[in-house]
């Protein structure tokens, strides 16, 4: 006999949207089940944001050691020999962080009296599913369903990832050996975050991007410091270049993969140890039986259609995170998950955020919150803009965060000085996003930030100075 279970809330997927929704539902006293086929934590924790940032940090440490081991050292510090990379040990260290966080998520769910079911769910009706668990099938009937199935790497049909020579971002985070040469297909944030890390570790990196610029989601002013860093570190970038295929050549340990791409009407090829494909992600909407639930897709056909409460067209069914539309970011999913749990519990909530921060952990880091100057003008706003260079910030100098020409830029409405957007580029600027997004969500005026005392010496002073620059009277720059 197949075991059956009823609950008030069924959540499919234990990623940053699903597990947050589960914990909040449990806190609110709702009988909640979370179904997860892999490890709790989802792509972000297991094979995305967290492990990639761990490797990026390790790469930064290694690059610093290389500087100290060079002739004359650096900062008056030197080490006696050339540092080495043990990629297997680095990956093991990364895995330990992931395992710790995974266990932490499971403990939080348990602490909130949420049942975590390991297995894959298939829906036979709007609120009925069967989960194939290691112990056998489990039927679940729920009063409310939260779809939080996340997204997956997109393969190129003519060169699918085998995770040995042609790898996805998942494979890049589990390398047993550091490649001497690597090609990255796709010049977006995933490819360039990993590309910068590999370059710091000593890999010769080539980027193949189909558009006319890398990191095309940002304006040229924000992209320029990254381009400078890539050039200084010997990263070759091919834009307006389309990958055409990859073939493994050679025998045994000498095997290489030859990547062919088209640029300027001509076919070119390079031989590398690994080809990393990072052309984007697709929402996980297939294979769950969602067609049996009756939920409708949006006009693109990619995402589940939702309203500003994450409700689908079917009463009692919600969709959050990557399956519900752009931006496909973990922190958006978490915010939606918390909100939906409260809506189910009877609270009045809507998802109407002024802005959702976007952060890229390349070198230098890029942060964007709200509108850029061009975006604001396209919406008909008359704006004033101020930009403050990190080279004029004392803390940035002590951290060497100014070396690539980074800055903080503020865009405000000219008529009333409401802040419309903040962007920053430079080492260590990611941690400034909290102040940026808080200013926008609270509807801050330039004068609100200008009159706030910022501690010295800190990087946040760069935000303060950029506000003063927008008002026309920055202190530490002309």
By the 10 Å C-beta count (0-12 exposed, 13-18 middle, 19+ buried), 382 is classed as: exposed
In contact, 396 and 402? CB cutoff 8 Å: yes
Residue 392 pairs with which residues in a beta bridge? Answer: none
Alpha helical stretches, state H, 28-146 = 42-47, 49-69, 87-111
- Any idea which residues carry the catalytic annotation? 456
By the 10 Å C-beta count (0-12 exposed, 13-18 middle, 19+ buried), 65 is classed as: middle
Which one-letter DSSP state was computed for residue 114? P
By the 10 Å C-beta count (0-12 exposed, 13-18 middle, 19+ buried), 304 is classed as: buried
Token reading at 434: 């909290």
Residue 270 pairs with which residues in a beta bridge? Answer: 259
Strand extents, DSSP E, 371-433: 383-389, 407-413, 419-426
From residue 212, alpha-carbon distances to 78, 185, 209, 241 in Å are 41, 14, 8, 8
From residue 148, alpha-carbon distances to 35, 145, 286 in Å are 10, 9, 13
CB atoms within 10 A of CB 331: 19
């Amino acid at each position: 006999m197949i075991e059956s279970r009823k609950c008030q809330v069924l959540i499919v997927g234990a990623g940053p949207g699903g597990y947050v929704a589960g914990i909040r539902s449990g806190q609110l006293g709702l009988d909640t089940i979370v179904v997860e086929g892999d490890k709790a934590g989802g792509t972000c924790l297991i094979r995305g944001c967290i492990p990639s940032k761990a490797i990026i940090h390790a790469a930064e440490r290694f690059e610093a050691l290389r500087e100290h081991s060079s002739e004359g050292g650096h900062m008056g510090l030197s080490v006696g020999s050339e540092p080495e990379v043990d990629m297997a040990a680095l990956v093991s260290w990364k895995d330990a962080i992931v395992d710790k966080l995974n266990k932490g998520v499971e403990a939080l769910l348990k602490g909130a009296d949420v049942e975590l079911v390991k297995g894959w769910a298939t829906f036979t009706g709007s609120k009925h599913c069967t989960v194939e668990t290691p112990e056998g099938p489990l039927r679940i009937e729920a009063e409310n369903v939260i779809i939080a199935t996340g997204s997956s790497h997109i393969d190129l049909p003519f060169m699918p990832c085998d995770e040995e020579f042609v790898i996805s971002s998942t494979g890049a985070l589990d390398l047993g050996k550091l490649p001497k040469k690597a090609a990255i297909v796709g010049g977006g944030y995933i490819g360039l975050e990993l590309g910068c890390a590999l370059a710091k570790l000593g890999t010769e990196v080539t980027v193949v991007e189909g558009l006319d610029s890398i990191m095309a989601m940002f304006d040229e002013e924000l992209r320029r410091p990254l381009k400078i860093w890539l050039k200084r570190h010997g990263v070759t970038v091919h834009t307006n270049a389309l990958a055409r295929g990859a073939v493994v050549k050679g025998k045994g340990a000498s095997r290489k993969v030859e990547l062919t791409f088209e640029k300027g009407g001509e076919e070119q090829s390079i031989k590398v140890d690994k080809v990393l494909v990072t052309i984007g992600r697709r929402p996980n909407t297939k294979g769950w039986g969602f067609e049996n639930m009756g939920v409708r897709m949006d006009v693109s056909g990619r995402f589940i259609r939702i309203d500003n409460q994450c409700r689908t067209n079917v009463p009692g069914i919600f969709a959050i995170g990557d399956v519900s539309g752009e931006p496909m970011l973990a922190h958006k999913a978490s915010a939606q998950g918390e909100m939906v749990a409260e809506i189910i519990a009877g609270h009045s909530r809507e998802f109407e955020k002024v802005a959702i921060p976007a952060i890229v952990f390349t070198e230098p880091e890029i942060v964007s919150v709200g509108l850029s100057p061009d975006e604001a003008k396209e919406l008909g706003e008359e704006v004033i803009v101020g930009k403050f260079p990190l080279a004029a910030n004392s803390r940035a100098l002590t951290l060497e965060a100014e070396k690539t020409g980074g800055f903080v830029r503020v865009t405000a409405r000219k008529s009333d000085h409401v802040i419309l957007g903040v962007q920053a580029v430079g080492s260590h600027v990611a941690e400034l996003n909290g102040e940026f997004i808080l200013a926008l969500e609270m509807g801050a005026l330039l004068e609100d930030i200008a009159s706030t005392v910022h501690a010295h010496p800190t990087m946040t002073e760069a935000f303060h100075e950029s506000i003063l620059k927008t008002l026309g009277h920055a202190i530490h720059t002309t």
